[in-house]
Amino acid sequence: MIKRLRRRFILIAMLSFFAVLTLLVGTINLVNFVQTESNIDGMLHLLSDNRGIFSGEMGEIKDMPVRHGREDRFPGTDVHITPETPYETRYFVVDLTASGETARCDTSHIAAIDEAAAVQYALSVVESGRDRGRMGGIYRYYREDRPDGGCTVVFLDCREQMSSRSELLISSIIIELVSLIAVFLPVYWFSGRAIRPVAESIEKQKRFITDASHEIKTPLAIISANTEVLSMTEGDNEWLDSIKNQTSRLARLVERLVMLSRLDETNPPLTLGDFSLSDAVYDAAYPFGTLAENCGKRLVLDIAAGLTYHGDEGAIRQLVSLLCDNAVKYSDENGEIRVSLTPRGKGSVLEVSNDCRNFDVSELPHLFDRFYRVDDSRSRKSGGYGIGLSVAKAICDAHGAKIIAAYDRYGRVIFTVYF
């Protein structure tokens, strides 16, 4: 249990850190992507507005707010303009007439595209009918229609921006993974110290239950023996019967508390082996038929034959007995208790259900809590302490099985165990 608690602590801490890092990395890359796309669109608009011209004879275009040695923004765009921008930007421009003829093709600012390919790209853009998009994977284009019916298509080489985005993404992921590893080591180291007070408290609780059970068993045995002597010498009476009943209840309570304590250990003391699950369920459930009849109820068994299981047969039999005992105690008068065992894939499913018309569905999440009783008056009358289902869940957990409680629309409480 302590190791399980420590693993959960580490898992929660690492998942929280991973979520924060992933959010941070995602935000950084998203902001970078948006800014890059904005700069690309701004550059395309700038080139389109100036018919694909950055400069005349390598001089600044008219009204461009660029000052020697500094960076500025072009009006109406997010483009950062420097004196080096015309030399760093790779693009080509194609002017088409209204009839689709090539009026101008400027590929002087790019080496990877010749005029024939540039014209073909431009014609493809016109055929697509789109004003902007991507062409060839790395070229971003913008088409602007002119008043004379023609159009200007500007293509911008975005491989540098795409490469920068990819490098940032890969670098941020690597940094995230390294950070996770770096954080895992101290979290793993300090997790033991963090849960030490809880571990000590649990160990003290287990020790107390074990020690108390041994101390209680001796006086219980003496009381039981003395009661039997009085019964033989004085004869039975209601007081002796009450002492016997209460002594028996207390003995069962101590036994179940000790079992809970042992099942909570990291390696519970189970005797594992292969056995017939069908026979174990039938043998454990069948005796409750007589008890149900005495209470005016009916037990129905629907157990598939030939099912086997690898586990502690004694514990599984006790699991079935606990569920059947609970069903008989808390079933409605003249109600039906049904026990079924069916195959499911490579495993098996055990269902124990009983009629319970006035059950409060809000109680379902608490049924497996220790000493929790839905109806105290009924529990006292039936002799329950609210610990049987806790033991049943502990047995399932020790075997790696899953138990759930549900309430259907027909007014039946159903306990399902997935082996």
Given the structure tokens 């670098």, which residue do they identify?
171
Q: Where are the domains of the chain?
A: 2-162, 196-263, 273-418
- Measured between alpha carbons, how far is 166 from 29 in angstroms, rounded to an integer? 9
Residues sharing a CB contact under 8 Å with residue 331, sequence separation 6 or more, in sequence order:
292, 297, 337, 354, 355, 356
Residue 140 clears pLDDT 80, i.e. is over it: yes
Has residue 202 got a pLDDT over 90?
A: no
The per-residue pLDDT for 64 is 45
CB of 312 closer than 8 Å to CB of 343: no
Just give the CATH number of 196-263: 1.10.287.130
C-alpha neighbours within 13 Å on the C-beta side of residue 193: 5
Which 8-state DSSP code applies to residue 332?
P
Question: Per-residue DSSP letters for 59-70?
Answer: SBPTT----TT-
Higher pLDDT: 224 or 13? It is 13
- Residues 198 and 229: their CA atoms lie apart, in Å, by 46
How are strands ordered across the β-sheet holding 347-355? 298-303, 336-344, 347-355, 412-418, 402-407
**Residue among 36, 355, 8 nearest 187 (CA):** 8
| pLDDT classification of 269: cutoffs 50, 70, 90 | low
Judge whether residue 204 has pLDDT over 90: no
**Does pLDDT of 218 surpass 80?**
no
Distance CA(321)–CA(282), nearest Å, equals 10
Is 273-418 in the same CATH topology as 196-263? Answer: no
For residue 236 the two structure tokens come to 């039975």
Tell me the β-bridge partners of 140: 134, 156
CATH of 273-418 among 2.60.40.420, 3.40.50.150, 3.40.50.300, 3.30.565.10: 3.30.565.10
Structure confidence at residue 270 (pLDDT): 73
Element (H, E) at 194: helix 159-194
Lowest mean pLDDT among 69-78, 232-241, 274-283, 382-391: 69-78
pLDDT band at 214 (very low <50, low <70, confident <90, very high): low
Q: How many residues does the chain have?
A: 419
| pLDDT tens digits, one per residue of 72-109 | 444 445 566 677 777 788 899 999 998 888 898 989 88
The secondary structure of the chain in percent helix, strand, coil, rounded to multiples of 5, reads 55, 20, 25
Instruction: Work out whether strand 308-311 and strand 273-276 pair parallel, antiparallel, or are unpaired.
Output: antiparallel
Percent of the chain's residues with pLDDT above 70: 82
Determine the 3-state secondary structure of 398 from DSSP: helix
pLDDT for the residue numbered 169:
93
64-78, 90-104, 268-282, 370-384, range with the lowest pLDDT: 64-78
CB within 8 Å of 40: residues ≥ 6 apart: 140, 156, 158, 161
Read off the pLDDT band of 56 (50, 70, 90): very low
Instruction: Kindly report whether the global pTM for this prediction surpasses the value 0.85.
Output: no
pLDDT for 166 equals 92
